[in-house]
Amino acid sequence: MKGLQKGLFSLCALLVTGALIAGCGSKPAEQTAASGGGSQTATPADEVLQKIKDTKTLLVGTDATFQPFEYKNAQNEYEGFDIDLVKAVAAELGAEKVEFVDTDFKGLIPGLQGKKFDMIVSAMYITDERKQTIDFSQPYYPGGLTIMVQKDNDSIKSADDLKGKKVAVQIGTKSAKFLKEKYPEVKLVEVEKNVEMFLELESKRVDAVVTGMPAAKVYAKQHDKVKVLDVELTQEYYGYGIRKENKGFVVAVDKALKTLKDNGKQDEIANKWFGE
């Protein structure tokens, strides 16, 4: 009996010792996950990607006044290069529907931050200043600023010739910022909508317009009262604006854009709206 008791005591001591050793050699689950070792808890899905998965809908902020990127046709339907491209991107992301929220350009970034929409698709240039506030997708189309004047105007041939002249720009855009910084002598006429900017020029209430080159060239082809100078004021690119906290969404959008570029769909859409 004494031998049996002694054996049981020894067995218990061995089990306790083993448990203590095991306890010393392990970490709590939270600590393991935080240190990057062992099994980790799953990272929560990106908010926008989860929303798309749940609702099959992508909510897009745009200023629908900038042909041929985004505008409304006679039936009040959204059309344009940006409109077609983001629909293709949305399909790659699993969204079956894209809802557009027409917003003044100056209100797009505040609207994005206030979660009125999931992303900005509005011929917006990627700039260092904007990147302090929001993130951008990879560039999806080249832009750059140029000068538009009346067809019969031969006195303006470069940016230096704009000094002292009335120049229309859309408020809150790179055009306005560029002229304020580089050519303070210019008499800026800031308007809310792009269409107002072009009408100011056609009616000769201003001497010139400074705007994105792709849109300027398309507009000039459709309106014989104006012409675009062979002047490239800046070299920049358009990107989709996305909230900084939605890093996973940025990665997914970039992947979708690459797919559309690789399979030729993006070029097909660009040729539809810009031609050669």
| DSSP secondary structure string for all residues of 221-236 | HH-TTEEE-S------
Rounded Cα distance between 116 and 161, Å, is 41
Q: What does the block give as tokens for 5?
A: 């008791």
Report the pLDDT value the prediction gives residue 24, as an integer from 0 to 100.
Answer: 41
CB atoms within 10 A of CB 238: 22
Which residues, 6 or more positions from 121, have their beta carbon under 8 angstroms from its beta carbon? Answer: 60, 61, 62, 70, 82, 83, 85, 86, 240
- Provide the pLDDT confidence category of residue 275 given band limits of 50, 70 and 90: confident
> Using N-to-C axis directions, what is the helix angle for 265-274 and 213-222, rounded to 10°?
40
Report the pLDDT value the prediction gives residue 167, as an integer from 0 to 100.
Answer: 98
Which residues, 6 or more positions from 193, have their beta carbon under 8 angstroms from its beta carbon? Answer: 63, 65, 104, 170
Range(s) within the chain of domains with CATH label 3.40.190.10? 47-142+238-274, 145-228
Right CATH number for 145-228 from 3.10.580.10, 3.20.20.70, 3.40.190.10, 2.30.30.830? 3.40.190.10
What CATH code would you report for 47-142+238-274? 3.40.190.10
Rounded Cα distance between 61 and 70, Å, is 11
| pLDDT tens-digit map of 88-114 | 999 999 999 999 999 999 999 999 999
In this predicted model, which residue has the larger pLDDT, 230 or 9? 230
The answer to whether the beta carbons of residues 82 and 121 sit under 8 Å apart is yes
Counting beta carbons within 10 angstroms of the beta carbon of residue 256, is it exposed (0 to 12), middle (13 to 18) or buried (19 or more)?
buried
- Is the pLDDT score of 1 beyond 70? no
In this predicted model, which residue has the larger pLDDT, 29 or 194? 194
- Is the pLDDT score of 5 beyond 60? no
| pLDDT tens-digit map of 54-77 | 999 999 999 999 999 999 999 999
